[in-house]
Amino acid sequence: MEEETHWVYNGKNTSRWTYSYAWIYYWEENTGLTAHRCSACGDVTGKLVGAHVYKAGILGRRTSRLDRNYYIVPLCYSCNNFNNDYKFKVTSIFVPVPSNN
């Protein structure tokens, strides 16, 4: 797995996906890495969370998604609280959220 850079939107109201422990540990387990910085702002001093994001589409509109998947990336609390309509850039390994159909 390699780092990628994408414009994303924060995935709010994603509680239908449950995991038995924190999403940041899910990201670390699947990448084999320890999260050490926010994928959006680069902060290395704050507590990180495993944030649900989805990739913005080619046109970058809120309704235009690159794919139908949600991904987990490390974000600080501030960046994880972005409004759904706010597009922002992250550089990270994007770990897909497991399907919970």
pLDDT at residue 72 greater than cutoff 80: yes
In which element (H, E) is residue 38 found?
none
Whether 50 is in a domain gets the answer yes
* pTM more than 0.95: no
Percent of the chain with pLDDT over 90: 49
Q: In which residue are the tokens 């919970």 written?
A: 100
Better-predicted residue by pLDDT, 76 or 13:
76
Range of the domain at 60: 4-96
Percent of the chain with pLDDT strictly greater than 70: 76
A 10 A CB-CB count for 50 gives 22
- 90, HSE (Cβ side, Cα atoms, 13 Å): 30
Question: 69 falls in which pLDDT band (50, 70, 90)?
Answer: confident
Q: Is residue 101 part of a domain?
A: no
Residue 90 counted as domain residue: yes
